[in-house]
Amino acid sequence: MKPEMWPQKAPEEKIWATFDFRKGLVAGETIVSAVMNVTLKGGSDGSPEAILSTQTVLGGRVLQRLQGGVEGATYLIACLASTSEERVLKLAGVLPVRES
């Protein structure tokens, strides 16, 4: 699984990241919960998980609100989705935080 490269955001911006699992679901299968893991790919941040805010599951998609972040840091955000068929699926994205 290769992470998606997302456009950069400024530290003061709040955005929604979408993890779209619909192509990987079988007929009738839904996402029942999701867990996020955040690691740094570059730069420094003493608490990279602080970039996570609220989360919503809509059908086969997980929407994760991202906020803050440290100027110059690049975050790898992985979403592990548990499904109604007792499977766990993973998608990830890379988010650079830069001043506009």
| pTM metric for this prediction | 0.93
Average pLDDT, the chain: 96
On the question of pLDDT at 1 being above 90, the answer is no
Of residues 78, 80, 62, 65, the one with CA closest to residue 19: 62
Band the pLDDT of 59: cuts 50, 70, 90. Answer: confident
4-96 CATH choice from 2.60.120, 2.50.20, 1.10.3470, 2.60.40: 2.60.40
Written as one letter, the residue type at 84 is: S
Q: What does the domain layout of the chain look like in residue ranges?
A: 4-96
Structure confidence by residue, pLDDT tens digits, 18-53: 999 999 999 999 999 999 999 999 999 999 999 999
Give backbone dihedrals phi and psi of 91, rounded to 5 degrees, phi first.
-135, 155
